[in-house]
Structure 1
Amino acid sequence: MNGTTKLLLAAVCGVAVAGVYAGQPVLGPMGRDLDVPADALGWFVATGQLGYLAGLVLLVPLGDVLDRRRLIAAHLALVAAGSAITGAAPVAWAAFSGLAAAGLFAVVVQTAVAYTASISPAAERGRNLGIVTSGVVIGILGARIVAGVLADLWGWRSIYLALALLAAVLALLTRTLLPADVSRGTARYGQALRSFGGLFARPVFLGRGLVAFFLFASFGTLWSGMALPLAEAPWHLDATQIGLFGVAGLAGALGAARSGRWGDAGHARRVTGIALVLLLASWAAIGQLPWSLPLLILGVIVLDFAVQAVHVSNQHTLTAAYPGRTSTTIGAYMVFYSLGSALGAAGTTALYDATGWTGSSILGATLALCALAAWAFSTRAESRAARPLSPSSTVVGRVRC
C-alpha cells in the first residue's frame, strides 16, 4: 500500500466525516437562520449521525459484496449532493434532509477503512489504519477550524457548499487513482446483512462496541456543546475563534497517531485502558470552561488524544479478529459510534439549556466512566473468547494482502 493511496484514503475519510460535524461551531447561526429553537440545535449534528447509522446498517455491508473502489467513488458523489442540499436549504426541513443524506453516505469512511485493512500486510495493518483514520480526526476537528472562518466570511452555508465541491473532486480522483479491489468476496447482500447482525452476539465485538458507544458519546458531549458557552459571557467568542479550538483537538488526536503501531506490537488492550483513564481525567479540566480557557484547551487536547488512541485500538482488534469480513465488522462497530455521537450531541445541548456547562460536563465525565467500565468487561471477554471466526462462518472470500 503506497503513500499516495494512504493519503487519498485519509482525504476521503476527512471530507466525508466533515459534513457530519461541520455545523458544530455554527449551531447558533444555523438555528437563527432556519428558525430552530435553542434546545433543539443538537439535532443538526444528531440528524447526520442518525443518517450515518442507517448507512452503517444498509450500505457498509456492500463492501463485502461489491468493488470497494466503485463504492467509495459513488458514495462520495452522494455526500456531495447531500452537502449541496444543506448549503442551499431555504427552510429547516430541507437542511435536515441534506444532513441526513450526507450522513447516510458518509459511511464511505468505513468502506475506506475496510479497504485499507484488506490490502495491508498483517504486520502493517495497525500503522496503515492509524494513517487513514487520522483523516477522520482531521475531518472532524479541522472542519471546525475551517467552518468558523468560512462562516464569518460568507455565512454558514458556504461551509456545506465547499464540502460538496471537495467531495465531488475526490469522487473523481478515487475512481481514477485507487487500485481495483481484488479482496471482495462472493457473498450476496442478504448474507452480508445477516452476518452484520450476528456480530452483536459475539463477546469481543460487543465489548469493543460498548466502549465505542460511551467513548463517542463523551466526545460528542464536548464538541456539540462547547460552542454555546464560548459564544456567551464571559467569553463572547465568534465562530472563527470557536473553530480554532479544533487546533487543540487536532494536536491531541494526531499525538495518538502511533497507537496503531502499539496495537501491532500487541498492546491494544493496555493502550485502551490508559487512554480511557485520560478521557475521564480530561473532563476535570473541560469543566473549568466558564473560568479558564487554558484549562479547557488542555482538556480538549487530552480528550482527543484518548479518543483517537481508543478508536484505532478498537479497529485494530476487530479487524484482526474478523479478517475475512472487514467491511461488515467495521460497519457494525460504527453503529455504536453513531448512536453514541448522536446521544452526546442531543444530550449536551438539552442539558446546557437547563443546567449550563456544569450539566454538560457531568454528562461527559459519566459517559467516560461508563466507557472505562465497558473496557473492563471487554478485557475479560477477550481473554476468554477472542479468536477469529471459523472458515465455515465467514461470508466473504479470502482476503489478499
Structure 2
Amino acid sequence: MKQVTLSNQVLYLLSISAGLVVANLYYNQPLLHQIAVSYKVSDAEVSNVALFTQLGYALGLLFIIPLGDKVSNKKILQWDFLVMVISLIAAGLANSLFILIISSFFVGFTSAIPQLFVPMAAQLSDDKNRGRAIGIVMSGLLIGILGSRVISGFVGEQFGWRVMFYAAAVMMVLLFVILKFKLPSIKPVFEGSYVSLMKSLYHYFSTDSSLRLATLRGGLAFAGLSAFWTTLVFLMEDSFGYGSTIAGAFGILGIVGALGATVVGKMGEKISNHSIIVFGTLLLIVSWIIIVFSGHSIIGLMAGVLLVDLGMQSLHITNQKIIFSNTPEARNRVNTIYMVGFFIGGAFGTVAGALAWGNYKWIGVGTLGIVLSVSILIVHLVFRKR
C-alpha cells in the first residue's frame, strides 16, 4: 500500500487546525480578571480556571493521543470535537465558578487533538524535511496559543467573557467540517489492545533517556511561560491600569517569536541539537532577567515576550525532533509522554505563578522564571551524556 505523502496543502491545514484548536486552552487567560469580578472571587481562586484547563489538556494527551497509533485519526476527531463543542458552550453558560472550572477541564481534555497533527506531519515527511514540517505545524500551534490571547482580550472587553466561548464553539464546528473532507486518513500501526497501548508508554519512558530529558526540559520551560501569561493580566491591572485587551495584545509580540518555529526547524538540519538547546535556554534566562526588572516598563515587557517565546520554541521544536527521530514506530506515544510532562509543567507554572504574584508580585514571578530557566540548563548539561 502506497504511503500518503505530505503535500503543502495538508501541511498548512494541519498548522492552521493546530492553532485554532489549541487556542481553546488560552482564551480564558486574559479574561481571568473579568471572570473574577463576575463571580465575585479573588484572582487566586479564578486562576483555577486556567489550571484545570491545562490539567484537562494533560490528561487528554495521556488518554487520547496514544490512540493515534491504534485508531483512525478521523474517528478520533469525530468524537473529540463533539465533546469539545458541548464543553465550550457549557463554559459560556456557566452560572458559577465551579461549573466553569469543570467545563474548562473538558475543554482542555478535548483540545489535545493538535498533538495528533505534529506526529502526523513527522510521519508523512521524509528525513530531510521533517524539521521543516514540525516547525510549520508548531508555528501554527504557537500562533494559536498567542493569538488566542489577543482575540479573547478584545472580545472579552467589548462583548463580555462568555461570548468568547460561544464564538469558539462555532469555530470548532466549522473546522471539523473542513477536516472531515480534507484531512487524509492515516492507517494505525499498533494492533494490540488499548491496555497494552497504554502500558507501552511506561516502556518508552523507562527505556529512552533522551525522551525523559526532553520531557523535563520542556516541562520546566513551559512552567515559566505559563507563570508569565497567567499573571500578566494581573500586572496590567495593578501597575498600568490596563484591561484585558492590552494584556491580550502582548500575544502579538509572541506571534513574532512563534514565526521563528519554522526557522528553528530548518536550523536543526545544520546545527546540532545540543547547540540549539543551549542557545534557547540562554535566551530564556536573558529574557527572564529583562522581565523581572520590567514590572513598570511596557518596553521591557515587550522585549521579554519576544525573547521568551523564541527561546521556548527553540527548545520545544528541538525536543520533538529528537523524540520523533529516535522512535519512528511510536511517534504518537512518545509525543504523549513528552506533552504530558510539558503541560504538567504548565499547570505547575500556573499555580506557582499565582502564588509568586500573591506573595511577591512581579518580582516573584520574574524570579520564578529565572530559577526555572537556569534549572533547564543545569539538567541538560548534567544528564545529556547519560
Q: Per the shorter chain, which TM-score range?
A: over 0.9
* Aligned with 1:220 (options 212, 220, 226): 226
TM-score (norm 1): 0.91
Following superposition, the deviation at residue 161 of structure 1 comes to: 1.3
Query: Which runs of 5 or more residues in structure 1 are unaligned?
Result: 382-401
Distance between the aligned counterparts of 1:38 and 1:53, measured in 2? 23
Distance between the aligned counterparts of 1:5 and 1:177, measured in 2? 8
Is 2:21 the counterpart of 1:16?
yes
Is 2:214 the counterpart of 1:208?
yes
Is 2:62 the counterpart of 1:57?
yes
Is 2:251 the counterpart of 1:241?
no
Q: Residue 260 of structure 2 corresponds to which residue in structure 1? A: 255
Q: Residue 319 of structure 1 corresponds to which residue in structure 2? A: 324
Q: Residue 201 of structure 2 corresponds to which residue in structure 1? A: 196
The SS at the match of 1:22 is coil
* Aligned with 2:372 (options 367, 374, 391): 367
Deviations 1:121-165 (A, max 9, x none): 121111011101112111110001001110111111111111111
Following superposition, the deviation at residue 221 of structure 1 comes to: 1.1
CA contact (8 A) 1:64 1:187 kept: no
Distance between the aligned counterparts of 1:222 and 1:116, measured in 2? 30
Deviations 1:214-246 (A, max 9, x none): 01001111111111011123x111211111111
CA contact (8 A) 1:13 1:135 kept: yes
Distance between the aligned counterparts of 2:200 and 2:40, measured in 1? 43
Following superposition, the deviation at residue 319 of structure 1 comes to: 0.2
Following superposition, the deviation at residue 104 of structure 1 comes to: 0.7
CA contact (8 A) 1:145 1:247 kept: yes
TM-score (norm 2): 0.95
The aligned amino acid for 1:321 is N
Query: Which runs of 5 or more residues in structure 2 are unaligned?
Result: 1-5
CA contact (8 A) 1:41 1:349 kept: no
CA contact (8 A) 1:17 1:109 kept: yes
Distance between the aligned counterparts of 2:295 and 2:367, measured in 1? 14
The size of the alignment, in residue pairs, is: 380
CA contact (8 A) 1:40 1:349 kept: no
Distance between the aligned counterparts of 2:218 and 2:164, measured in 1? 28
Is 2:237 the counterpart of 1:231?
yes
CA contact (8 A) 2:136 2:261 kept: no
Distance between the aligned counterparts of 1:116 and 1:73, measured in 2? 20
CA contact (8 A) 1:253 1:306 kept: no
* Aligned with 1:149 (options 151, 154, 162): 154
CA contact (8 A) 1:72 1:112 kept: no
Distance between the aligned counterparts of 1:278 and 1:151, measured in 2? 32
Is 2:301 the counterpart of 1:296?
yes
Q: Residue 111 of structure 1 corresponds to which residue in structure 2? A: 116
Query: What is the root-mean-square deviation of aligned Cα atoms in Å?
Result: 1.4
Distance between the aligned counterparts of 1:340 and 1:132, measured in 2? 22
Q: Residue 394 of structure 1 corresponds to which residue in structure 2? A: none
CA contact (8 A) 2:46 2:97 kept: no
Sequence identity (%): 25
For 1:347-386, what aligned pairs fall within 5 Å after superposition? 347-381=352-386
Q: Residue 178 of structure 2 corresponds to which residue in structure 1? A: 173
Distance between the aligned counterparts of 2:54 and 2:171, measured in 1? 20
For 1:53-92, what aligned pairs fall within 5 Å after superposition? 53-92=58-97
The aligned amino acid for 1:172 is V
